[in-house]
Structure 1
Amino acid sequence: MLVVKRREHTLKKISFLAHSLGGLIARYALALLYSDDLVAASATTNIKQKGLIAGLEPINFITLATPHLGVRGKKQLPFLFGVPILEKLAAPIASFVVGQTGRQLFLTDGKPNKPPLLLRMASDSDDGNFISALSAFKCRVLYANVSYDHMVGWRTSSIRRETELCKPPRRSLDGYKHVVDMEYCPAVPSQNAPSMQNTLEYHEIMEEEMIRGLQQVSWKKVDVSFHSAFWPFLAHNNIHVKNEWFHNAGAGVITHVADHIKQQEKQQERPLFITASL
């Protein structure tokens, strides 16, 4: 907000680019910065867009390897190797290791009169207009590692159900090494979920509700695979080239992100970019 105030006469638009937990922090911040003011119609579309972020027109919301559904459940936290007993033990232990963040990621921070934070962040509520804030952006993009990410599973980072995962292609897209697939998922109107209480565990029911909530806006989903990289197990940091020397396998992913932004800027003024990573 300080940056916006200092340059309020020159800044008109804003975008967010976030990695890992930074994506969840960014989503929470959006609800705090959101206002439902109308954006002036553009010269090309003549359509008024509803919703501002920090008083600016939102353009891109991009996350890389972000656990949007938390890390509880089958293979959501890959370094547990999908072992059921380890995944069950991780939830109660997490709060002792990483405190409140652990409870939030494992969906154990709920109270009798208050659902877990990540579930609340999948809807508009008294806590904030989380979905309205996301819907204000012209484009929302998810980059997800399909394998070799020891911290964040493919399903949670791409907001998919387990039944929606299929064997990814092995070949990279032309010009973007390790980017193996792209999918555009249109918005799905909110509707009542069928009763599942008798067949699923409580955290699985919450996960389904989060997916349904986040599907109310459209997403572009980009799948990344470092299976052919020299150090594939560095995938979580490769995807955003945390270190130029150790994680340069992700250069093709960053090129893909940059080209997407350039395409958006062809019809837009240069936006302010906010980045977040933890």
Structure 2
Amino acid sequence: MATASLVQAGCGFSPRFSSNSNNFSFRTGSFGPLGSSTSSSCCSCSSHNLNFSSGTNSNWKHQGLIAQFMSTTTQGNFASSKSIADGKNEPDHLLVLVHGILASPSDWTYVEAELKRRLGRNFLIYASSCNTYTKTFTGIDGAGIRLADEVLQVVKKTESLKKVSFLAHSLGGLFARYAIAVLYSQNDSRGTQSNTVTNSLDGNSQKSSPSRQGMIAGLEPVSFITLATPHLGVRGRKQLPFLLGVPILEKLAPPIAPFFVGRTGKQLFLTDGKPSRPPLLLRMASDCEDRKFLSALGAFRCRIAYANVSYDYMVGWRTSSIRREKELVKPPLQSLDGYKHVVDVDYCPPVSSDGPNFPPEAVKAKEAAQNAPSIKNTVEYHELMEDNYTPFILLTEEMIQGLQKLGWKKVDVSFHSALWPFFAHNNIHVKNEWFHNAGAGVVAHVADSIKQQESSSFISASL
């Protein structure tokens, strides 16, 4: 198990923007030397395109904005180099913090201060404010577009920026995945469009070329990190844990959810699909005609999914870690050295699609009906298949296969020994410093992971 090195740094300096105004406020402080990190980089790989039919295409607006900001960013890179030569220290790495459902930027108060202290002043840490509270009910796509516009405004106002990373909690991870697809653009060395995403398994040894990998808002994408995000939605056994795994409640939840959480509820329960258009979350696991979701995600050097093993009443372990039920192996109880409650780190290389996989109970029922034909076995199998089971399982399997075409680092978190373990969903990002401080070790692990990628980026640039 890795031992974390101490990071000795003072409070950082980062401008804070408001999406509703053009005003800036700054927080200042002193800085100390940054320590080293032993957190390993995550894996990456090329993506494959899956085409689905699309509806109305609104790319024209964002493509024009992206082109404008790419030009602005190019000028900003020159300005950044000039500022360094003049002895100024302006941020060149934008880190966007995205909150979850019914939340606000204040959820990031502790994380923002801690990241400033640990990462230093070359990071501009920006907590998104465009999707606060009930705005999170308007749909993942609508919130994603608002987030993309907000990021573009930040990039426009800060000319020194060269790189971008995202850190998102819960539903915010899906907002961020949609936003990066809106912001994504890719050019080859000749300036023409290309859909090839090239990443290597080892982030340390990677010598990247942003023009080949793709850009996000005209910036080089570095880290994409989610905390307890329902990547596969919340439909299925114990994927919305506060329903306690009760079958009747899990069957009633999908049709009722839109009355409570609007359009977002339909999308999370995968009930927003049409005969000519698959559910949004399924499309977001591929490159479809209207958005390059997988290519945008694959453009990042590092993708990390933090997941609560237990005690998370909002998001299940399987959906937040992008795993199948059979892949949920009981993790160690002991925390990694220096990172309390972080119990396991799994480096998952890219996996090519090999067709749909049925869950064990469905396979068993099918084999029983075929090998020992009887009225009982046949009825049980057909009831299992006809109870809206197969369509949902196939959707989930397609999402897993799509997302696993990219490499991930999956970090398991367990608050079983915390004073308030049932606050796991809020502990994982320390929503409140007093009530959820059990997640301080997770935040430290996140900071060191980001810092490790920043170090490898500096080495690659130097080479």
The verdict on a shared fold, with TM-score over 0.5 as the criterion, is yes
The alpha-carbon deviation at position 194 of structure 1 amounts to 6.1
Residues 2 and 86 from structure 1, CA distance in 2 versus in 1: closer, same or farther, beyond 3 angstroms? same
The alpha-carbon deviation at position 267 of structure 1 amounts to 2.5
Amino acid paired to 1:37: N
Residues 114 and 45 from structure 1, CA distance in 2 versus in 1: closer, same or farther, beyond 3 angstroms? closer
| Aligned equivalents of 2:357, 2:174: Cα separation in 1 | 27
Written as runs of structure 1 = structure 2, the 5 A alignment for 1:105-254 is 105-193=268-356, 200-254=389-443
Provide the secondary structure at the position in 1 that maps to 2:281. Answer: helix
| Aligned equivalents of 1:18, 1:47: Cα separation in 2 | 24
Is 11-20 or 259-268 further displaced after alignment?
259-268
Amino acid paired to 1:31: A
- Give 1:35's aligned residue: 185
Q: Report which of the two structures shows the higher radius of gyration computed on alpha carbons.
A: 2
| Higher helix proportion | 2
Residues 154 and 195 from structure 1, CA distance in 2 versus in 1: closer, same or farther, beyond 3 angstroms? closer
Cα RMSD (Å) of the superposition? 1.9
| Aligned equivalents of 2:443, 2:405: Cα separation in 1 | 27
- Give 1:3's aligned residue: 154
Provide the secondary structure at the position in 1 that maps to 2:338. Answer: coil
Provide the secondary structure at the position in 2 that maps to 1:63. Answer: strand
Amino acid paired to 1:97: F
- Alignment coverage as a number of residue pairs: 265
Residues 81 and 27 from structure 1, CA distance in 2 versus in 1: closer, same or farther, beyond 3 angstroms? same
Residues 101 and 192 from structure 1, CA distance in 2 versus in 1: closer, same or farther, beyond 3 angstroms? same
Bigger RCO of structures 1 and 2 (CA < 8 A, at least 6 apart): 1
Amino acid paired to 2:177: R
| Aligned equivalents of 1:142, 1:14: Cα separation in 2 | 17
| 8 Å Cα contact 1:95-1:103 kept in structure 2 | yes
| Aligned equivalents of 2:224, 2:456: Cα separation in 1 | 17
Asked if 1:19 corresponds to 2:169, the answer is yes
| Aligned equivalents of 1:109, 1:5: Cα separation in 2 | 35
List per-residue Cα deviations over 1:152-211 (Å, max 9, x = no partner): 000000000000001121111111100000000001123443689985521111000000
- Give 1:52's aligned residue: 215
- Give 1:77's aligned residue: 240
| Aligned equivalents of 1:171, 1:120: Cα separation in 2 | 38
Provide the secondary structure at the position in 1 that maps to 2:187. Answer: strand
The alpha-carbon deviation at position 13 of structure 1 amounts to 0.6
Residues 46 and 217 from structure 1, CA distance in 2 versus in 1: closer, same or farther, beyond 3 angstroms? closer
| 8 Å Cα contact 1:184-1:220 kept in structure 2 | yes
| 8 Å Cα contact 1:120-1:127 kept in structure 2 | no
The alpha-carbon deviation at position 38 of structure 1 amounts to 4.4
Residues 52 and 38 from structure 1, CA distance in 2 versus in 1: closer, same or farther, beyond 3 angstroms? farther
Asked if 1:63 corresponds to 2:226, the answer is yes
| 8 Å Cα contact 1:38-1:52 kept in structure 2 | no
| Aligned equivalents of 2:207, 2:456: Cα separation in 1 | 13
Amino acid paired to 1:212: Q
| Aligned equivalents of 2:207, 2:316: Cα separation in 1 | 41
| 8 Å Cα contact 2:225-2:305 kept in structure 1 | yes
Amino acid paired to 2:301: K
| Higher strand proportion | 1
The alpha-carbon deviation at position 47 of structure 1 amounts to 4.5
| 8 Å Cα contact 2:357-2:397 kept in structure 1 | no
Amino acid paired to 2:400: I
| Aligned equivalents of 1:78, 1:194: Cα separation in 2 | 24
| Aligned equivalents of 2:230, 2:343: Cα separation in 1 | 20
**Aligned sequence identity (%):** 70
- Give 2:367's aligned residue: none
List per-residue Cα deviations over 1:122-154 (Å, max 9, x = no partner): 000013000000110000000000000000000
Amino acid paired to 1:65: A
| Aligned equivalents of 2:430, 2:222: Cα separation in 1 | 23
Provide TM-score, normalisation by structure 2. 0.55
Residues 239 and 47 from structure 1, CA distance in 2 versus in 1: closer, same or farther, beyond 3 angstroms? closer
Amino acid paired to 1:208: E
Provide the secondary structure at the position in 1 that maps to 2:166. Answer: strand
Provide the secondary structure at the position in 1 that maps to 2:213. Answer: strand
List per-residue Cα deviations over 1:230-250 (Å, max 9, x = no partner): 000000000000011010000
Provide the secondary structure at the position in 2 that maps to 1:125. Answer: coil
| Aligned equivalents of 1:107, 1:26: Cα separation in 2 | 18
Residues 194 and 149 from structure 1, CA distance in 2 versus in 1: closer, same or farther, beyond 3 angstroms? closer
Unaligned stretches of 5+ residues in structure 2:
1-151, 190-204, 363-381, 459-463
